[in-house]
Amino acid sequence: MEAMSIVPKTWTRETGLAEKRDVWSAIKRGFRGRCPRCGEGKLFRAFLKVDDHCPICGLDFTPHRADDLPAYLVIVIVGHIVVPTALFIETDFSPPVWLQLAIYLPLTLVLSLALLQPVKGAVVGVQWALRMHGFDENTPDDIAPG
């Protein structure tokens, strides 16, 4: 039986220019905390600290500018889960306030912490797929004057 030799893919400027970037794949990979390009390397080195580069394909993560967008998106997502749940329970069962606070506050905290890293990874994936910020291979020097 003949052994197959695996040739590592080298990312160069030429392959980057022809590289197709699927937005949905990048979002899914980022949501899972993986490199948006190869899907194998880790995106985070700590809870919310994005690594400098992918250990597998070498993609530079330093240009990402997630800033406050992940936090805003988590607030919207958690709000759309907790508020209708609270309104449903209040109108149908009317439990005491202390019980509602004992349920909704921890629920909000746990959901927010659980979603923050995946949402930030998805935002970094979108930025890479749409060639935003420094994820574009064309630097301003390469742009011809109009």
Give the mean pLDDT of 90-114: 96
pTM for the model stands at 0.80
Give the mean pLDDT of 42-65: 94
Q: Is the dihedral of CA 14, 20, 26, 27 positive or negative?
A: positive
Residues 110-122: tens digit of each pLDDT: 999 999 999 999 9
Tokens 């749940």 correspond to: 85
Residues 5-26: tens digit of each pLDDT: 565 656 666 655 556 889 999 9
> What are residue 50's phi and psi, to 5 degrees?
-75, 135
Give the mean pLDDT of 90-105: 94
Is-contact 122 30, C-beta < 8 A? yes
pLDDT at 135: 84
